Chains A and B, each alone.
Chain A
Amino acid sequence: MPQVTLTVNGRQHTVDVEGRTLLVELLREKLGLTGTHVGCDTSQCGACVVHVNGESVKSCTMLALQADGDSVTTIEGLAAADGTLHPMQEMFREHHALQCGFCTPGMVMTAIDLVNAHPSGLTEKEIREGLEGNLCRCTGYHNIVKAIAAAHPLMHAKAAE
């Protein structure tokens, strides 16, 4: 059986997989990281978004073997060791940007990448367009947009420290 070696949330793993094993299956079923969700089978809902080498990727649309040697960050890897939430997580909570929580991990991972990619600022329109690949059925997106706008200065202030 093929093996894949990758770093997930800072920890290196070597895992036996099949050729067809998806990255999300490796995370959920082999590593027990069930925070990353599967909400569709056509690569549209974005519940499975993780970061691969710092960029948002749909982990349901990537083979585990493609991630060999890569560094993966999931929702479980965002908070500090002492439990302090990432500013994006904190702003989602502050602005009630989640209800059922199912789309939330993917939404947060996408949002962080979006903010990272736009250091000089994000308009409401850019945020809404940046969420193109993430579906939420609960919130109507209103508070998600607010949370991301609020997280932007916090994240870039932190980066400037």
Chain B
Amino acid sequence: MGFEGIGASVRRREDVRFLSGKGNYTDDINRPGQLYAFIVRADRPHARIDGIDTAEAEKAPGVVRVFTGADMAAENLGGLPCGWQIHNQDGSPMAEPPHPVLAVGKVRHVGDPVAVVIAETRQEAKNAAELIEIRYTDLPAVASLTDAVAAGAPEVHDGVAGNICYDWVIGDKATVDAVFAKADRVVKLELTNNRLIPNAMEPRAAIGDFDTSSGDFTLYTTSQNPHVIRLLMGAFVLHIPENKLRVVAPDVGGGFGSKIYHYAEEAIVTWAAGKVRRPVKWTAERSESFMSDAHGRDHVSTAEMALDKEGHFLGLRITTLANMGAYLSTFAPCVPTYLYATLLAGVYKTPVIYCNVKAVFTNTVPVDAYRGAGRPEATYLLERLVDVIAHDTGIDKVELRRKNFIPADAFPYQTPVALQYDSGDYQTTLKVALANADWNGFEARRAEAKARGKLRGIGISTYLEACGIAPSAVVGSLGARAGLYEVANIRVHPTGSVTVFTGTHSHGQGHETTLAQLVVDQLGVPLSQVEVVHGDTAKIPFGMGTYGSRSLAVGGSAMVKAMDKIIAKGKKIAAHLMEASVQDIEFKDGSFRVAGTDKAKALHEISLAAYVPHNYPIEELEPGLDETAFYDPKNFTFPGGCHIAEVEIDPETGVVEMVNFTAVDDVGRVVNPMIVEGQVQGGVAQGIGQALLESALYDPHGQLLSGSYMDYTMPRANDIPAMSVATENTMCTHNPLGSKGCGEVGAIGSPPAVINAVVDALKDHGVRHLDMPATAPKLWSIIQAAQPRLAAE
């Protein structure tokens, strides 16, 4: 056994399972007597439902039942709840229109579920679905933000004037305006953050199971947070108490945020299983995923920076329109507010910031958190704006960043947008990234590329994000309808092996390995004697799940707390066994020792005594060695760093090739460097995808144009370069591990670096800004338009 504790690149324990085809994903599960659900979805973006005729479908071969929204309404079931309430600048609450599980009265986006067929086989359900006749009256629809807020735009929800879900502000406008009035210079930029489709490789699936003897429901689902689903679906939708509802999220094939939310299909199969008294399974076809998984991003913003003569940032003023889609997905309202605007200070000491966000309903799929969630939008805006300031003022883009950085000795640092950063060292991550990317050698590479007829550019982004969400009281005051602690149960078995029950959920992050390493480190138990269990409400005390890069910072901290309790109890047992005072017992490397003596008891001796309490302080202590801790974080954590991208553009076609990518991140304490690097690489690939390839496109009337892999460009292996990934860490000061989180840094830091590189490559073509994705036809048009100007020079 080599070193297996914190800091070791232990090979993942889950891999043999996945590499042998022994993973257990939701669609791999089949329950006896299982039926199949096929969901009939709206084929149009906005329409009144005048009638649904299911008679023919109900008579079709294999069909057991057909349900519509009316059937659910008849049972007074709830709609899909929203977990975060934002308040308007006038103090009133946001518009929160109903979100029926199956559409009632109207459909509001292509893909909106209208009816469900339950049949003996998938194909029979699908055949019967074609026999359902839905009579619609089409209504005018809006898809884009600008169309939705235009005067006279069609209303997505009756009574939601101007399609505005909320009109929210942070910062004091008068103060910021005054700074702008006195500034030497103001630089302004308008930009969009392109809409994305998360596309976890495993399509969503759900199986509802009903035990006819006990009346218990079980939902197997592709979720990042089974307890949250149990709470939302049980309490708000189906009215099933927790003791009668078990939610299992087994192996889950990627989430990236899209599997946080409580989706209609989960409620449909669970409820239907109870109605037909048999298990009901639904698995999304990929084309369904495109029109039913929550999408990400989709902002339009105007950003202005007030500057002094030397280029110091004096004030930032921003207005943003954020697309909510047709309904509020579970955490949608917090994404463009508390996960976005609070990040607008970035790594800079901008003293005053004002941001106004209008969240807007459109006839599109709901939009919610996707890897990074709000923070990529803030980072992209800020890092593009900084580059544009460099462009407009002529100040070197690296120098401009350096002179505005929050210095390393300024922590804790209070930003003007609510957050207080605990630690960071932006000069260092910048310095190391510049060296790793050979920034100074770039002009030679540009010249060499030019000789080959290519336009080469380099781009930088110095970023920061907030994760490890978050103190429950704080988020509660900001509108969260949930706590955001995490839970760990550490069970030391009689012979000293350990099972960890964690409220986090692993869907690619490798928790079964990383979290076990924490036990190795703290309890001195070999890795082979530690098991990590997650994803089942029947096994785990409670849990808030995995998103926002919070599992280690929050879930890991809960484990540390629970292990502290194990050690504290173990010391009492050890003191009793070794006839010493508890104060004299030390715990180190898996042994309890009497300080200053050679008397010691190993953990397994203590655990055996705890479960076989023959010689045991039974009057003072309960038997057993099993502790649970809830950890509520004191603050967010603040990973950050510097990303540098290098691209080459073929001027004849506009095709961009990513040639180099360098990331230097500060993620706090690293438990498993191999896994951290993998998380960063994956995030960067998604960021490159956003910057160059991916775009969820709607036509002006709400039809999804990029509804399959034929039209939605997923990054492939030959779109992504080999990457240089490194960390330069400062410790988080307020959690016991010092960890900050690494799941999202790649997707947050990289898009502006890539676009900054593209713009740099086109610097002789009069380009100041271009919107993502930087596709070949877009760049070709820019290059074409610039030709006459270049020729004239």
Least CB distance, A109 to chain B, in whole angstroms: 10
Whether A140 and B681, one on each chain, are in contact in the complex, defined by CB atoms closer than 8 angstroms, is: yes
Q: Does A74 contact B (CB under 8 A)?
A: yes
A31 to B674, CA, bound (A): 36
8 A Cβ contacts from A14-56 to B: 20, 28, 33-42, 44-45, 47
Given contacts A36-B21, A92-B15, A127-B717, contact A100 B684 (CB under 8 A): no
Q: Does B438 contact A (CB under 8 A)?
A: no
Taking CB atoms, residues of chain A closer than 8 Å to B723 are 140, 142
A135 to B254, CA, bound (A): 12
Whether A139 and B678, one on each chain, are in contact in the complex, defined by CB atoms closer than 8 angstroms, is: yes
Chain B 724-750, CB-CB to A under 8 Å as 1, else 0, gives 000000000000000000000010000
8 A Cβ contacts from A112-161 to B: 124-125, 127-129, 131-132, 134-145
Whether B251 and A99, one on each chain, are in contact in the complex, defined by CB atoms closer than 8 angstroms, is: no
Q: Does B583 contact A (CB under 8 A)?
A: no
Taking CB atoms, residues of chain B closer than 8 Å to A36 are 21
Identify the closest chain B residue to A88 (Cβ). B19
Taking CB atoms, residues of chain A closer than 8 Å to B14 are 101
Q: Does B507 contact A (CB under 8 A)?
A: yes
Q: Does A13 contact B (CB under 8 A)?
A: no
A143 to B718, CA, bound (A): 13
Chain B 654-680, CB-CB to A under 8 Å as 1, else 0, gives 000000000000000000001101110
Chain B 1-45, CB-CB to A under 8 Å as 1, else 0, gives 000000000011011111111110101100000000000000000
Whether B717 and A131, one on each chain, are in contact in the complex, defined by CB atoms closer than 8 angstroms, is: yes
Whether B508 and A96, one on each chain, are in contact in the complex, defined by CB atoms closer than 8 angstroms, is: no
Whether B717 and A141, one on each chain, are in contact in the complex, defined by CB atoms closer than 8 angstroms, is: yes
Taking CB atoms, residues of chain A closer than 8 Å to B685 are 139-142
Least CB distance, B112 to chain A, in whole angstroms: 20
The 7 closest A-B pairs by CB, nearest first: A35-B21, A102-B253, A101-B18, A140-B685, A100-B508, A99-B508, A75-B21
Q: Does A64 contact B (CB under 8 A)?
A: no
Identify the closest chain B residue to A148 (Cβ). B717
Q: Does B286 contact A (CB under 8 A)?
A: yes
A138 to B18, CA, bound (A): 14
8 A Cβ contacts from A69-104 to B: 74-76, 78-79, 85, 89, 92-94, 96, 98-104
Whether A145 and B717, one on each chain, are in contact in the complex, defined by CB atoms closer than 8 angstroms, is: yes
Least CB distance, A13 to chain B, in whole angstroms: 17
Taking CB atoms, residues of chain B closer than 8 Å to A75 are 19-21
Chain B 693-733, CB-CB to A under 8 Å as 1, else 0, gives 00000000000000011100011111010110000000000
Whether A74 and B717, one on each chain, are in contact in the complex, defined by CB atoms closer than 8 angstroms, is: no
Q: Does B350 contact A (CB under 8 A)?
A: no
Partner of A41, one of B11, B285, B508: B285
A160 to B578, CA, bound (A): 62
A155 to B471, CA, bound (A): 51
Partner of B722, one of A74, A124, A129, A131: A124
Q: What would 30 A/B residue contacts be, using CB atoms closer than 8 Å?
A: A34-B25, A35-B21, A37-B25, A41-B287, A75-B20, A92-B15, A93-B11, A93-B12, A94-B11, A96-B12, A96-B675, A96-B677, A98-B12, A100-B252, A101-B251, A102-B202, A102-B253, A103-B253, A125-B718, A127-B717, A128-B718, A132-B716, A135-B709, A138-B201, A138-B678, A140-B715, A140-B720, A140-B723, A141-B716, A145-B717
Given contacts A93-B11, A98-B19, A99-B254, contact A139 B681 (CB under 8 A): yes
Given contacts A40-B286, A102-B202, A127-B717, contact A85 B254 (CB under 8 A): no
Identify the closest chain A residue to B708 (Cβ). A42
Identify the closest chain A residue to B677 (Cβ). A96
Whether A142 and B722, one on each chain, are in contact in the complex, defined by CB atoms closer than 8 angstroms, is: yes
A123 to B97, CA, bound (A): 55
Whether B509 and A99, one on each chain, are in contact in the complex, defined by CB atoms closer than 8 angstroms, is: yes
Given contacts A40-B286, A103-B201, A140-B685, contact A74 B25 (CB under 8 A): no
Least CB distance, A2 to chain B, in whole angstroms: 15
Q: Does B449 contact A (CB under 8 A)?
A: no
Taking CB atoms, residues of chain B closer than 8 Å to A144 are 717
Q: Does B686 contact A (CB under 8 A)?
A: yes
Partner of B709, one of A44, A108, A131, A142: A44
11 new A-B contacts, CB < 8 A, other than A37-B201, A105-B21, are A37-B25, A42-B710, A93-B11, A93-B15, A96-B677, A101-B508, A102-B253, A128-B717, A137-B200, A138-B508, A140-B715
SS of A interface (majority): loop
A35 to B17, CA, bound (A): 10
Given contacts A34-B21, A39-B202, A41-B286, contact A142 B718 (CB under 8 A): no
Taking CB atoms, residues of chain A closer than 8 Å to B252 are 100
A75 to B23, CA, bound (A): 11
Taking CB atoms, residues of chain A closer than 8 Å to B709 are 40, 42, 44-45, 135
Whether A93 and B28, one on each chain, are in contact in the complex, defined by CB atoms closer than 8 angstroms, is: no
Given contacts A75-B19, A93-B15, A99-B509, contact A142 B253 (CB under 8 A): no
Identify the closest chain B residue to A102 (Cβ). B253
Given contacts A39-B201, A75-B20, contact A137 B718 (CB under 8 A): no
Whether B201 and A137, one on each chain, are in contact in the complex, defined by CB atoms closer than 8 angstroms, is: yes
Least CB distance, B279 to chain A, in whole angstroms: 15
Least CB distance, A155 to chain B, in whole angstroms: 15
Q: Does B199 contact A (CB under 8 A)?
A: yes
Taking CB atoms, residues of chain A closer than 8 Å to B717 are 127-129, 131-132, 134, 136, 141, 144-145
Taking CB atoms, residues of chain B closer than 8 Å to A101 are 14-15, 17-19, 23, 251, 253, 508
Whether A89 and B25, one on each chain, are in contact in the complex, defined by CB atoms closer than 8 angstroms, is: no
Given contacts A42-B708, A141-B685, contact A104 B18 (CB under 8 A): yes
Partner of A76, one of B20, B199, B677: B20
Least CB distance, A108 to chain B, in whole angstroms: 7
A78 to B566, CA, bound (A): 42
Given contacts A135-B709, A140-B685, contact A98 B254 (CB under 8 A): no
Given contacts A127-B717, A131-B716, A144-B717, contact A137 B254 (CB under 8 A): yes
Whether B25 and A140, one on each chain, are in contact in the complex, defined by CB atoms closer than 8 angstroms, is: no
A83 to B16, CA, bound (A): 10
A103 to B685, CA, bound (A): 16
Whether B201 and A45, one on each chain, are in contact in the complex, defined by CB atoms closer than 8 angstroms, is: yes
Whether A98 and B18, one on each chain, are in contact in the complex, defined by CB atoms closer than 8 angstroms, is: yes
Given contacts A124-B722, A143-B681, contact A135 B716 (CB under 8 A): yes
Least CB distance, A49 to chain B, in whole angstroms: 12
Candidate in B11, B200, B285, B678 with the most chain A CB atoms within 10 angstroms: B678
Whether A102 and B254, one on each chain, are in contact in the complex, defined by CB atoms closer than 8 angstroms, is: yes
A128 to B717, CA, bound (A): 5
A22 to B686, CA, bound (A): 32
Whether B201 and A142, one on each chain, are in contact in the complex, defined by CB atoms closer than 8 angstroms, is: no
Whether B708 and A33, one on each chain, are in contact in the complex, defined by CB atoms closer than 8 angstroms, is: no
Whether A89 and B19, one on each chain, are in contact in the complex, defined by CB atoms closer than 8 angstroms, is: yes
Least CB distance, B35 to chain A, in whole angstroms: 14
Partner of A35, one of B23, B286, B678, B746: B23
A100 to B716, CA, bound (A): 17
Whether A140 and B714, one on each chain, are in contact in the complex, defined by CB atoms closer than 8 angstroms, is: no
A146 to B717, CA, bound (A): 12
8 A Cβ contacts from B188-207 to A: 199-203
Q: Does B274 contact A (CB under 8 A)?
A: no
Least CB distance, B565 to chain A, in whole angstroms: 32
Candidate in B20, B28, B714, B746 with the most chain A CB atoms within 10 angstroms: B20
Partner of B202, one of A37, A78, A92, A140: A37
Least CB distance, B297 to chain A, in whole angstroms: 16
Least CB distance, B567 to chain A, in whole angstroms: 32
Whether A138 and B682, one on each chain, are in contact in the complex, defined by CB atoms closer than 8 angstroms, is: yes
Partner of A104, one of B19, B510, B674: B19
A93 to B10, CA, bound (A): 10
Least CB distance, B722 to chain A, in whole angstroms: 6
Whether A74 and B21, one on each chain, are in contact in the complex, defined by CB atoms closer than 8 angstroms, is: yes
Whether B682 and A139, one on each chain, are in contact in the complex, defined by CB atoms closer than 8 angstroms, is: yes
Candidate in A42, A47, A89, A101 with the most chain B CB atoms within 10 angstroms: A101
Identify the closest chain A residue to B678 (Cβ). A96
A136 to B178, CA, bound (A): 50
Least CB distance, A104 to chain B, in whole angstroms: 5
